[in-house]
Structure 1
Amino acid sequence: MSRIPRLVPAAALVLATLWCSASPAGALPPPGVPAGPGDPVYPTLGNGGYDALRYDLDFAYQGDSRTVRATTRMTARSLRRLGGFELDALGLDVREVRVDGKPAAFRTHDEKLLVTPRRAIARGAVMTVTVRYTVDPRAARTHSAWVPTADGFAIAGQPDGAHTVFPCNDHPSDTARFTIHVTAPDAVLGVANGSLGATERRGGQTTRRYDSREPMATELVQVSVGSYTVQERRGPGGLPLRDVVPTTRAAALAPALALIPGQLEWIEQRLGDFPFEMYGLMPADTDDPAAFDFTGLETQTLTLYKPSFLLQPEPMIGSHMMHELVHSWFGDSVTPSSWADLWLNEGHADLYGLIYRYERGWPDSLGYTSLEARMKDTYARGDQWRHDCGPVAAPNADNLFDSQRYLGGVLTLYALREKVGEAVFDRIEHEYLRRHRGGSAGSQEYVRTASEVSGQDLGPFLTDWLYGDRTPPMPNHPDWTVTPPTASPATSARGSGATGEASATL
């Protein structure tokens, strides 16, 4: 997910299944209310009729009840005349909705908040929708982005959980600007994505404002309250680094955090300057597997981690940390057009994570010490994975976070690099990131960029790799063979191939 369960692959499949079953595929908006984009993986996710421009979120954590009082203000531009419209919302106790400052009728159904303003919104008009609500982060764990901790919470919204935290257009193609206010008792710290702005203390409570410089997808939002210490320093080129660590574990986590500047320098040499205003890690203050079923998640500018994972030696965590760092470019700076394009996020993150691993001579648990050897092994599994999990760019909710999206994505990128050469491949990467920075793009945009940069029509070649039922021949390796698939699913196809897992267990 991209609260991606790395070390517990089965959890990813369970979560995906539960979350999908909570959203009836046949649920339709009321007559006259625009439908969503029709995502191929989550067809009820997202909303049509408007484009979200910015969100102003206000969270007030109640230390006695451990609940959250919240206000969401969404500024959006209508794409058509709107007599009514919907936001994604689930598990929120909505008290009031206003449109442009005036009370609006509302009701919830399925995973939607249906809003009916007093007057229809004209096409092209900019509207502000204010929703006041309360929520209990400990409730509804089968479908929730809330991660309860000992004295607060964190957020893990990927893929379809952000709307359990705040009402929104919960689809990665609709990025927006964010300002987040977090109010918490003085004994704990409230943090969020972006740079710290104003701080106000009053009556034993402190409110902190955080501003994100670049647009952000809803699934990348991070808000957390807990007993944290903020550690600030400078990275390559003076990039501000901010790590938010559990105070009691700060010393133990220091060796892992010390790796970040060198990792940034390594990846910037390959993908260009870091795309955001700052970077850092936030090991959430819990190791409870019931609350935290993944290892790392690339929430924008502040990567969420399970703290115990980062206590391991560098060869056990380095490539995973690189995997999550690469998401700042692939997945955060350029978000997927749909969840069927997840391979672009995870394939790229795994590719550079593996290269980073092998350059350092760290063998994976299969004993491989080179990308070529690992890809030969992955190639042999290709038809089995396509049989069990479908083509690389055609997932469903049950297998979205399968190895096919991770190492299957790496294999596709490796095939492209073998066909065009490493220098051209690098230019494709840079041009794709340049063209789509701050927005969304998908498989077809990547194919188009690759064809234009390489000077050859790569559509048929990449279409076979992304959507074919059989694994195509690998350029430059005519001796590589594919193992015929068996009728029963192979366990290796169930999420065991990602660098997220590889950096620790493969």
Structure 2
Amino acid sequence: MLSAALLSASVPSAGAVAGLGDPVFPSLGNTGYRALAYDLAFDYRADTRTVAGTAVITARPDRTLARLELDALGLTVRAVRVDGRPAAFATHDEKLTVTPTSPFRPDVATELTVEYTADPRARLPHTGWVPTPDGFAVAGQPDGAHTVFPCNDHPGDKARFTIAVTAPDALLGVAGGELTQTERHGDGRTTRRYVSREPMATELVQVSVGDYTVRERTGPHGLPVRDVVPTARAAELEPALALTADQLTWAEAHLGPFPFEAYGILPADTDDPDAFAFTGLETQTLTLYKPGFLRRPEPEIGSHMMHELVHSWFGDSVSPARWSDLWLNEGHADFYGLLYRYERGWPDTAGHTTLADRMRAVYGLGDQWRHDSGAVASPTAANLFDSQRYTGGALVLFALREKVGADAFDRIERTFLSRYRYGNATTEDYVRTASEVAGEDLGGFLDDWLYGLRTPPMPGHPDWTVGPVGAAPDGAAASGAAGAVTRPDGSAGTGGAGVPRGSGTL
């Protein structure tokens, strides 16, 4: 038998941390295998407010591996098994290294079982936990899922998920997907098991425990709509939650059938401004919200609710292959959220009443944003959630629609969603699809919009102008002149993109 000291060894950092080399988060993810499935169990202990977790990860190595790495941070790992046998493990940086008694074999699926304990209130450099007064919720985007469960924490490695949540009977444990089993224990605790029908990226997992009431209703063509609402807030949040069915109908008219088994909203029971730095998050089939936001009237929340709903198509069903492809998620969510707003005659806070008016205003900021935050499709970890990925991405889509026409644009969107449904796509995949559907090479046109240092002319609007770039901060180049950049695929292009996180400005 392996010694306890070996099983729980801590390996000092050797400098650079291994990872997939993502252009935004290089150390996230791991090479050598694909995750096929996660069977997760979370047991919430109300007396200590901690979670006892078990993660069973089915992985398929693509070569012989003496050891395998998972992403993990802030987890107290108690034991690791490989295909039922104890395995040595070690933690270093944000990795959990698993070394079995014999090497992992290529193309042979294997099960890794990790037993651990986590504290949702722990202070970590970054976290996917959202502690609440009576439990927790999960917000894994972009690099926090591995603080909740050990995983291959990169959206390019989607997998099947089954999640069991155990909680005291006075509380309710929930997760994304479909409730398939409820087991009541004799000690005043209940376990509920949820299954996600389609593959999911780790950052989209939702698990929550709290004093919740489940509100069930029916969406278009019988789609189940399940809202998980803090019991004390159920009445005040009902007007907002009742909007979802009609929003689904509108979204399906533009994007095709809803891609998952159910949809719903989870307002986590906290209005703590420090609890999470966003209004809503598109966790798959169960969107996370701050409840305070949903107390506002429909014209103030409807556009943002559409933004999060559209992520079911762009972001959840079709997930980014790299974090630099985030504009595909956020640009589309903003584009349709704004379209929904102005179709309903809801002026924004700046007084714009049409999508074209809003896009003209954003266009005027184009060079400044590119100066401040880089090109739309060239984010860094520091500016990943700047407005350039959101409304700047919507501006790219608006320009494409102006160039090819509304009908061709709609065909591009549906073809892209169909082609990459339940998988991953890159920016290059979108450009290729657009060119094929439009019947013309759009590579140069979209490259200028996605990677250029200067804002290109807007098709059909020769009168639109771009404002000058203001004074650059110390040490930064003040010029917006065109220059060479490198695309995420390593090829050369013309450079550029930014500003602060923008989904709340819809």
Is 2:56 aligned against 1:53?
Answer: no
Q: Measure how far apart 1:183 and its partner are.
A: 0.3
Q: Which residue of 2 aligns with 1:28?
A: 17
Q: Choose from 495, 500, 504 the match for 1:501.
A: 504
Q: Which residue of 2 aligns with 1:363?
A: 347
- Residue type of the alignment partner of 2:139: A
Q: C-alpha separation between the residues in 1 aligned to 2:157 and 2:73?
A: 19
Structure 1, residues 172-197: CA drift from partner, whole Å, max 9, x if none? 01000000000000010000010001
Distance in 1 separating the partners of 2:172 and 2:202: 22
Question: Is the aligned partner of 1:99 residue 2:102?
Answer: no
- Give CA deviations for 1:24-46 in whole Å, capped at 9, x if unaligned: 996234xxxxxx32100000000
In structure 2, distance between residues paired with 1:349 and 1:326: 5
1:476 maps to 2:479: no
Q: Distance in 2 between matches of 1:269 and 1:138?
A: 42
Q: Hey, what does 2:369 align to over in structure 1?
A: 385
Contact kept, 8 Å, 2:318 with 2:422, in 1: the verdict is yes
C-alpha contact 2:66 2:100 (8 A) present in aligned 1: yes
Q: Does 1:373 align with 2:357?
A: yes
**Which among 179, 188, 196 is matched to residue 204 of structure 1?**
188
Secondary structure class of the residue paired with 2:114: strand
Residue 198 of structure 2 corresponds to residue 214 of structure 1? yes
Alignment-derived partner of residue 82 in structure 1: 65
The yes-or-no answer on 1:240 pairing with 2:243 is no
TM-score by length of 2: 0.91
How far is 1:245 from its partner? Answer: 0.1
Matches within 5 A, 1:262-341: 262-341=246-325
Cα distance in 2 for partners of 1:25, 1:270 equals 50
Structure 1 residues 400 and 488: alpha-carbon distance in aligned structure 2, compared to 1, 3 A threshold: same
Alpha-carbon contact 2:371-2:498 (below 8 Å) kept = no
| Cα distance in 1, alignment partners of residues 114 and 504 from structure 2 | 39
Q: Secondary structure at the match of 1:307?
A: coil
CA distance in 1, matches of 2:221, 2:392: 34
Aligned positions, number: 471
Rg larger in structure: 2
Give distance in 1, aligned partners of 2:460 and 2:244: 35
In structure 2, relative to structure 1, the CA distance for the partners of 1:51 and 1:111 (3 Å cut) is: same
Distance 2:420 2:277 in 1: 32
Cα deviation digits, residues 117-150 of structure 1 (max 9, x gap):
1111111111111000001110025411110001
Q: Identity of paired residues, percent?
A: 69
Could you list the per-position Cα deviations for residues 447-506 of structure 1 after superposition, in whole angstroms to 9, with x for gaps in the alignment?
A: 01001111111111111111111111111111111112112369x95326x3x3223xxx
What are the residue-to-residue correspondences of 1:105-254 with 2, within 5 Å? 105-202=88-185, 203-254=187-238
Q: Structure 1: which 5+ residue stretches go unaligned?
A: 1-23, 30-35
- Give the aligned partner of residue 8 of structure 1: none
User: 1:228/1:341 Cα in 2 relative to 1: closer, same or farther (>3 Å)?
Assistant: same
Give deviations 1:404-429, integer Å, cap 9, x for gaps.
00111011111111111110000000
Deviation of 1:76 after TM superposition, in Å, equals 1.0
> Quick check: 1:343–1:406 contact (8 Å CA) kept in 2?
yes
Give 1:294 deviation, angstroms: 1.7
Q: Which has the higher contact order (CA 8 A, sep 6+)?
A: 1
Aligned alpha-carbon RMSD (Å): 1.5
The answer to which of 100-109 and 140-149 deviates more is 140-149
Bigger mean CA deviation after superposition, 284-293 or 118-127 = 284-293
* 2:376–2:498 contact (8 Å) kept in structure 1: no
Structure 1 residue 291, shift from structure 2 partner: 1.8
Secondary structure in 2 matching 1:42: coil
Matched residue, 2:484? none
1:14 corresponds to which residue? none
- Distance apart, 1:168 and its partner CA: 0.2
Name the counterpart of 2:239: 255
Is the CA contact (8 Å cut-off) linking 2:178 and 2:261 kept in structure 1?
A: yes
